[in-house]
Structure 1
Amino acid sequence: MTIPDALRAAAARLVASSDTPRLDAELLMAHALGLSRADMLLRQRDLTVPQDFLALLDRRLAGEPIAHITGTRDFWTISLAVTPDVLIPRPDSETLIEAAVDHFTGRSPSTILDLGTGSGALLLAALDQWPQARGVGIDASPAALAVAQENAGSLGMDDRATFRPGNWAVGVDGPFDLLLINPPYIALDEPLSGDVLRDPAKALFAGVDGLDDYRRIVPALPRLIAPGGMAAIEIGYRQADRVSALILAEGLHVRVKRDLAGHDRCLIVTGD
């Protein structure tokens, strides 16, 4: 079987279990070949299907996320190592970086704080965007911090990114020009499906209404946002009004930014 034939057959098998069957097949084939997806597609008619491709496909058919199979995930302009210890970075979260780019047009934040850093995705994407900036990532999980530290090293950002354990903003001294915050926001009884089922539960659930962690984080924002700075906070698409009310109660300004699907995804918070 040729690689084009194998990709078509794999995509057909994945239709029932994946929203992106063709992409999944291509990523698995590229991983099996040890190539980038772009290189694999350019050379596919000259290559042979590797022996372990079907084993990788079976893992995906069993529900294992692509990021766990390949061990990597692209996010913004960087590629990150990903393990089951961290939330898989998703395109929706790039909305936070987009909001920051819009806010800092023509200038760069000097200091960045990433609360709930996980794999380090948001902080490291921001540091790649602004090479003069430095940042701190906080997470309660030692395993997640190890992944984030590995990613910083792989990207050559060890000297600009510091990771440390913590309980959100407790004990964190500010202010910072940019805060990036992606807390758990799923209600305990909310049904889930797909790859999110493989994410760490502590990175997903936040009490009966999904707002527990916002209630812990928001009171710290007035002291953490520097003059002229901002916080970009990820929210569930039905949470804008309730989380905004918490923020307004602290005397801050807030507006909503939608993701590419048109869903409310990011709250932009300023003190100005």
Structure 2
Amino acid sequence: MILRQALMEGTRALRDVGIPGPERDARLLLAEALGISVSRLTLEPDLPVSTEEASRFHHMLARRAAREPVSRILGRRSFWGRDFEVTPDVLDPRPETESLIETALKGPAPERLIDLGCGSGIIAVTLLAEWPKATGVAVDVSAPCLDVTARNASTHGVSGRLTTLKSDWFADVTGSFDLIVSNPPYITEAEMAHLSPDVALHDPHLALTPGGDGLAPYHVLAAGCGRHLAPGGRILVEIGWQQGPDVAGIFNDAGLTDVAIVPDLDGRDRVVCGTQP
């Protein structure tokens, strides 16, 4: 078998079971099975594929056909131009979260930031990589999440400026920060029943929903600003696309100023930000 044939076979196998974007996923998995870059798939379509490589590819295809996300199979996710380790313990980062990064970078660089519910650490690590003079704290209630965050921080050269802390939101946090960021669980209890298998079967339940209307974490985050957000500091949170007005109301009620709802690239509400007076 040659590369072109393997790619056609993999694309067909994924398409037959209804996987969206079957060719894209087949390309990523085939490149991983062969240990080559995705670009070489186009440059060398007649490259021989060994029996061992084909076996690895077929195993990956079977996992994807069972609705395991490609990032879970590869063990990494590309985000803001960098690859981040992902494990079954952490939320699989979504492209929409880049809207939070973009919004943060449009403002002043903080001296000290905190990422609450950090998961894989993509937000804190990315921001520290973009702001080389900033320091930060990454908080999660899950010790395995903090382990992944620490490894990602090391990979991207910011471990000396990032502290990890096991805490239930602000419970064990001390001090104040110039920037608070969070992508909290926000899916409503009703929406959980309609999630795609890629999400429902593979993302940690606690990272997806707080239950009820999905707004509970925003009340905690807003309330914590009084003690932990420095005057003039900003808070930025990711939201579900229908939660903009509710979260903006929570921030306004907490006394934050300059509260704004920011859309993602698809034009859906994705980030709410506010400033400590």
TM-score when normalising by structure 2:
0.91
- CA distance in 2 between counterparts of 1:5 and 1:40 reads 11
- CA distance in 2 between counterparts of 1:37 and 1:187 reads 37
Alignment size in residue pairs: 269
Query: Which residue identity does 1:170 align to in structure 2?
Result: A
- CA distance in 1 between counterparts of 2:151 and 2:256 reads 35
Given that 1:77 and 1:128 are in contact with CA atoms closer than 8 Å, whether structure 2 keeps it comes out as no
Residue in 2 aligned with 1:234?
A: 238
Residue in 1 aligned with 2:147?
A: 146
Deviation, 1:101, is: 1.1
Deviation, 1:47, is: 4.7
Residues 187-208 of structure 1, C-alpha deviations (whole Å, 9 max, x = no match): 1221211421110000011121
Structure 1's 120 and 41: CA in aligned 2 closer, same or farther, altered over 3 A? farther
SS in 2 for 1:227: strand
SS in 2 for 1:109: coil
SS in 1 for 2:159: coil
Quick check: 1:259 aligned with 2:260? Answer: no
Structure 1's 41 and 130: CA in aligned 2 closer, same or farther, altered over 3 A? farther
Query: Which residue identity does 1:223 align to in structure 2?
Result: R
Deviation, 1:127, is: 1.0
Given that 1:77 and 1:125 are in contact with CA atoms closer than 8 Å, whether structure 2 keeps it comes out as no
- CA distance in 1 between counterparts of 2:133 and 2:38 reads 31
SS in 2 for 1:86: coil
Deviation, 1:223, is: 3.0
RMSD of aligned alpha carbons: 1.7
Residue in 1 aligned with 2:220?
A: 216
- CA distance in 1 between counterparts of 2:271 and 2:57 reads 38
SS in 2 for 1:74: strand
Deviates more, 1:160-169 or 1:40-49: 40-49
Deviates more, 1:115-124 or 1:210-219: 210-219
Deviation, 1:43, is: 3.7
- CA distance in 2 between counterparts of 1:47 and 1:98 reads 42
- From 191, 196, 203, the counterpart of 1:193: 196
Quick check: 1:159 aligned with 2:164? Answer: no
Q: How does 1:45-60 map to 2 (within 5 A)?
A: 45-48=46-49, 50-51=53-54, 52-60=56-64
- CA distance in 1 between counterparts of 2:41 and 2:83 reads 17
TM-score when normalising by structure 1:
0.93
- CA distance in 2 between counterparts of 1:163 and 1:40 reads 39
Deviation, 1:39, is: 4.2
Residue in 1 aligned with 2:102?
A: 98
Given that 2:3 and 2:41 are in contact with CA atoms closer than 8 Å, whether structure 1 keeps it comes out as no
- CA distance in 2 between counterparts of 1:19 and 1:209 reads 29
Query: Which residue identity does 1:3 align to in structure 2?
Result: L
Deviation, 1:163, is: 0.7
- CA distance in 2 between counterparts of 1:112 and 1:77 reads 21
Deviation, 1:2, is: 2.5
Residues 99-127 of structure 1, C-alpha deviations (whole Å, 9 max, x = no match): 011123xxx22211000000011001111
Which residues of structure 1 form unaligned runs of 5+? none
- CA distance in 2 between counterparts of 1:121 and 1:217 reads 19
Instruction: State, as a whole percentage, how many aligned pairs show the same letter.
Output: 40
Given that 2:129 and 2:157 are in contact with CA atoms closer than 8 Å, whether structure 1 keeps it comes out as no
Residues 8-39 of structure 1, C-alpha deviations (whole Å, 9 max, x = no match): 33223323433322221111011112223234
Deviation, 1:41, is: 3.9
